[in-house]
Amino acid sequence: MFVEEQSPTIADLRRSMRDLAAIASLPAIFANADAETVCSSLCDVLIRCLPVDFAFLRVGDDGGDSTRQALRTTDGVDRVAAESVVADHLDAAPGCGGVRERGEWRVACVKLGPYAASGILIVGARARDFPNEGERLLLNVAANQTGIMLALKQSELETLKLCETLEARVEERTAHLLEINEQLRSFTYSVAHDLRQYIRGINVNARGLIVDAGRAFDEPVLEQLDQLAYSAVQLGGLVDDLLTGARIARNQLLADSVDVSALAEEVCGVIAESDTYPPGLKFDIAPSMEAVGDPAMLRVLLENLIDNACKFSQGGDSRVVTVGRESDAFYVRDNGIGFDMLYAHKVFLPLERLQGGKTPRGTGMGLANARRIVERHGGRIWVESRPNEGSTFYFTLVPAASQ
């Protein structure tokens, strides 16, 4: 009595286990398989796991080049008869659980989805109790998973094609940009060379007029000629600084051991021997400062920072420019006019000047080039300043092993 009451439950349990095994086998079917293989493999699984006599799966529009389909039958089933039943039901897909009868056949049709563009799953059995609730669930899961996985595979193929196309487009665009940059570089140097010649001519002619024919001009005209010569010198300096900035961005970065103290001594010596600044300017350079970087670029960096400090120093004989180091940061300090830190964000921008005036000091590119050099070395640069108390420019350089 006990066994008879439990027999239906055991049978249901076995069917549920069979259905679960079928569901568990679905991921393996979709792994690294094309649509045609998926169709045939899924039909084989349904034939093994469901009490059906045939299973049919079609993916894609009927008759299209991308259409893939497969039909599997059990032993003893007339394939022609199964194909006839399938043909009658291809245009009728009432949805999950939809069942139709055709003579001795009970046929279930399920649309793939919801992500597949089109497709249908059809199974047929001669058993009158087909399909039960578990079998309906299995058909639903199989159809939905098939639609999802096929849609994912289609997306994967499209992505691969897009990547291949994108890579070719990137290579083409990169080559085009390199060509444009090379043409622009050649044009820049050609224009700069011509500009130097014209700027030099303006300066020489203006100075020549002042010296040779100065007595023929009144004071306002002489002042205009002097301003013209000064502007020519400034313009020449700006062209040089712009070309320096271009070289900083383009040239390969070296990583050598650099004696920063000796380099600063050389830069300060050149400035002291020139007539650029009034006499009395003093330099205080800390000894034994070492760094790793590009020697030529670090020289330009110190030239720009020290020259900037000299321009804005004040106090007659008490003018001092200090080059030193605090922890990992080098610094260049002056006791000059300083500025309000409210405008500190403008200091390192190209062609920005915090100090105005009728004859602005510098070209507005020195500190911008200094920032480029420091950033190319993987470091950072910043400034601390107060009005009439001077400014201190700090910078760090990352060691070669860290670059």
User: Residues 131-151: pLDDT tens digits?
Assistant: 877 778 778 877 777 777 777
Q: Is the pLDDT of residue 242 over 50?
A: yes
Q: Which residues contact 249 (CB under 8 A, 6 or more apart)?
A: 372, 376
- Domain's final residue, options 163, 196, 224: 163
CATH number, position 8:
3.30.450.40
* Segment of 65-79, 182-196, 327-341, 350-364 carrying the highest mean pLDDT: 327-341
157/270 same-domain check: no
pTM summary value: 0.51
pLDDT of residue 1: 35
Pair (159, 257) in one structural domain: no
Assign 81 a pLDDT band (cuts: 50, 70, 90): confident
Are 25 and 152 within one domain?
yes
Residue 129: inside a domain: yes
On whether both 134 and 280 belong to a single domain, the answer is: no
Burial (CB < 10 A; 0-12, 13-18, 19+), residue 86, is buried
pLDDT number for residue 317: 63
How far apart (Å, rounded) are the C-alpha atoms in residues 85 and 67? 20
Is the model's pLDDT at 402 over the cut of 60?
Answer: no
Q: For residues 263 and 45, give the distance between their C-alpha atoms in angstroms, rounded to a whole number.
A: 79
Q: Do residues 285 and 320 lie in contact, with contact meaning Cβ atoms separated by under 8 Å? A: no
C-alpha dihedral sign at 88, 90, 92, 93: positive
Residue 212 lies in a domain: no
3-state secondary structure of 68: strand
Question: Is the confidence at residue 116, as pLDDT, over 60?
Answer: no
What was the pLDDT predicted at 261?
92
| 286: phi then psi, degrees, rounded to nearest 5 | -70, 140
pLDDT at residue 158, as a whole number: 82
The whole-number pLDDT of residue 4 equals 42
Cα gap 373→249, rounded to integer Å: 8
Per-residue pLDDT tens over the stretch 182-225? 787 777 777 777 777 777 777 777 777 777 766 777 777 777 77
Q: Which residues contact 153 (CB under 8 A, 6 or more apart)?
A: 30, 34, 35
Mean pLDDT value of segment 384-403:
76
In a domain, 125, yes or no: yes
Q: Is residue 30 part of a domain?
A: yes
* Residue-wise pLDDT tens digits, 265-311: 988 888 888 777 767 788 888 998 988 888 888 988 998 888 888 88
In whole angstroms, give the CA distance from residue 197 to residue 192. 9
Same domain, 145 and 259: no
Element (H, E) at 13: helix 2-30
For residue 308, give every residue at least 6 positions away whose Cβ sits within 8 Å of its Cβ, in sequence order, or none.
332, 362, 366, 367, 393
Both 151 and 297 in one domain: the answer is no
Q: Closest Cα partner for 18 from 52, 59, 41?
A: 52
Bridging pattern class, strands 54-59 and 119-125: antiparallel
Q: What is the pLDDT of residue 22?
A: 58
pLDDT at 83: 85
Q: Quote the tokens at residue 127.
A: 């058993």
Tell me the percentage of the chain whose pLDDT exceeds 70: 79
Is residue 318, in this structure, part of any structural domain at all? yes
Mean pLDDT of 48-66: 75
Query: Which residue range forms the structural domain that includes residue 26?
Result: 2-163
In a domain, 223, yes or no: no
Residue 233 resides in a domain: no
As separate numbers, helices (DSSP H) first and strands (DSSP E) second, the chain gives: 8, 12
Which pLDDT does position 9 carry in this prediction? Answer: 57
Which is more confident, 202 or 353? 202
54, β-bridge pairs? 73, 124
**Per residue, what are the HEC states of 200-215?**
HHHHHHHHHHHHHCHH
Mean pLDDT of the chain: 76
In a shared domain, residues 267 and 393 = yes
* pLDDT above 90: residue 394: yes
User: Given CA atoms 348, 354, 358, 362 in this order, what sign does their dihedral have?
Assistant: negative
More confident of the two residues 3 and 78: 78
110 and 14 share a domain? yes
CA-CA-CA-CA torsion sign (376, 367, 340, 354): negative
CATH number at residue 313: 3.30.565.10
Residues 93, 56 contacting (CB under 8 angstroms): no
Q: Does one domain contain both 387 and 262? A: yes
Provide the pLDDT confidence category of residue 15 given band limits of 50, 70 and 90: low
Distances (CA, A) of 231 to 203, 214, 219, 226, 258: 8, 19, 18, 9, 36
Among residues 141, 163, 185, the one where a domain terminates is: 163
pLDDT band for position 14 (cuts 50, 70, 90): low
How deeply is 378 buried, as exposed, middle or buried, from its count of CB atoms within 10 A (0-12, 13-18, 19+)?
middle
Residue where a domain terminates, one of 134, 163, 192: 163
* Residue whose structure tokens are 């665009």: 173
pLDDT of 172 > 70? The answer is yes
| One domain for residues 10 and 158 | yes
Clarify whether residues 9 and 133 are in a common domain.
yes
Query: Is residue 151 domain-shared with residue 264, that is, in the same domain?
Result: no
Specify which of 120-129, 329-338, 346-355 reaches the highest per-range mean pLDDT: 329-338
The answer to whether position 265 is within a domain reads yes
What pLDDT was estimated at residue 31?
62
Model confidence at 395, in pLDDT bands (50, 70, 90)?
A: very high
How many domains are contained in the chain?
2
pLDDT of residue 355: 57
Q: How many CB atoms lie within 10 A of CB 54?
A: 25
Q: What is the 3-state secondary structure (H, E, C) of 169-187?
A: HHHHHHHHHHHHHHHHHHH
Confidence of residue 331 (pLDDT cuts 50, 70, 90): very high
**372-382 tens-digit pLDDT:** 889 888 898 99
Q: Which residues contact 191 (CB under 8 A, 6 or more apart)?
A: none
Please tell me the predicted confidence (pLDDT) of residue 25.
60
